Amino acid sequence: MRKVGLPLILIKIDRMSAILSLNNIEKSYGKIKALKGVSFDVPEGSVFGILGPNGSGKTTLLSIVLDVLKPKEGKFLWFGQPPSPEQRKKIGSLLETPNFYHYLSAVDNLKITHNISGRGQKEDISEVLHKVKLFDRRNSRFSSYSLGMKQRLAIAAALLGSPRVLVLDEPTNGLDPVGIAEIRELIVELKEKGHTIIMASHLLDEVEKVCTHVAILKTGNLITTGKVADVLMDEDLVELSAQNLQQLAEILNGMSNKITIDEKNGVVQMTLPKGTSRLDEINRFCFNKGVVLNHMLLKKKRLEARFFELTNN
């Protein structure tokens, strides 16, 4: 029998392993359902944004994975294992701003944090101060720091013990534009140094600039999750008009599954993936179906509109 040589197929597996897996997490405060069965995976090496408007359940979710709150239902795994004190040592967190002593220096404040938490070694203090770019100001009093520097010191405290993962709740909240820029830059640098970052944010712009992945929450429900580039992708919005809008909408259904009729402005809007709309083809398609267009315009759907659509439907 003749042997048939099978072609060698190389499949590149583009899947990072999950550092945190949430499975059907539910949490209530009395009658308020803060989380209603949330499941998603955080890939290792990502900057993972938990994005949602106020009250959507972000802080509750972070508190659960940090063992500050117990879920009513559901399970989560860190590094593929059920949570344990051993696992917890690999996770640095910043849920609320720590109380640093105003009259002490950064180094002395971190020595106190180290003594209380038992995380890392004393020698780590210089390393974390380098990481957050406060080494040159290590002996200055905390009270002399800008808001951005204070927040960077808080992140330095979370970095003691060299955790694989950093969990940050709204890390740029309350900062001025310079402080915000510093923290965002630091998060990207920490990712490059090998940390996985999980951060809550209510700012679309922040998630777009800093995060590689996102989970969008709304009133305790997971709306969507995935790579930022996929989830918050810009779209093409084509605006068209003809004598009979209903008929136009019906024939366009064959081209896109997102068609809306705007009676007030006398147009039909069709959404297509970014960069895929070909106006000449759409025109020909409509003409061949017996509809003559009297207006056609390509607009870009802005990310804000996409986010609004995701969190308001």
Based on the shown chain and the rule CB under 6 A, indicate whether residue 204 belongs to the binding site for ligand ATP. Answer: no
Q: Give the whole-angstrom CA distance, residue 154 versus residue 99.
A: 9
Using CB atoms within 10 Å of the CB of residue 187, give its burial: 0 to 12 exposed, 13 to 18 middle, 19+ buried.
Answer: buried
Based on the shown chain and the rule CB under 6 A, indicate whether residue 37 belongs to the binding site for ligand ATP. Answer: no
Q: Among 1, 3, 9, 54, which residue interacts with ligand ATP (rule: CB under 6 A)?
A: 54
Residue 16 C-alpha from the chain's centroid: 16
Based on the shown chain and the rule CB under 6 A, indicate whether residue 207 belongs to the binding site for ligand ATP. Answer: no
Strand (E) or helix (H) holding 70: none
Residue among 173, 205, 209 nearest 191 (CA): 209
Based on the shown chain and the rule CB under 6 A, indicate whether residue 55 belongs to the binding site for ligand ATP. Answer: yes
Stretch 216-235: interaction string toward ligand ATP, x if CB under 6 A? --------------------
Q: In what order do the strands lie in the sheet with 267-273?
A: 259-262, 267-273, 235-242, 293-301
Token code pair at residue 184: 């965002």
Beta carbon nearer to ligand ATP, 25 or 129: 25
Based on the shown chain and the rule CB under 6 A, indicate whether residue 45 belongs to the binding site for ligand ATP. Answer: no
Residues 6+ apart with CB under 8 A from 312: none
Residue type, 120: G
Based on the shown chain and the rule CB under 6 A, indicate whether residue 96 belongs to the binding site for ligand ATP. Answer: no
Q: Among 47, 48, 60, 79, which residue interacts with ligand ATP (rule: CB under 6 A)?
A: 60
Q: Please provide the distance, in angstroms rounded to a whole number, between the alpha carbons at the two ends of the chain.
A: 62
Contacts to ligand ATP from residues 241-300, by CB under 6 A: none
Based on the shown chain and the rule CB under 6 A, indicate whether residue 59 belongs to the binding site for ligand ATP. Answer: yes
Based on the shown chain and the rule CB under 6 A, indicate whether residue 46 belongs to the binding site for ligand ATP. Answer: no
Shortest Å, Cβ 29 to ligand ATP: 3
Q: Give the whole-angstrom CA distance, residue 93 versus residue 295.
A: 54
Q: Among 20, 40, 58, 286, which residue interacts with ligand ATP (rule: CB under 6 A)?
A: 58
Shortest Å, Cβ 221 to ligand ATP: 12
Residues that bind ligand ATP in the complex, under the rule CB under 6 A: 29, 32, 34, 52, 54-60, 202
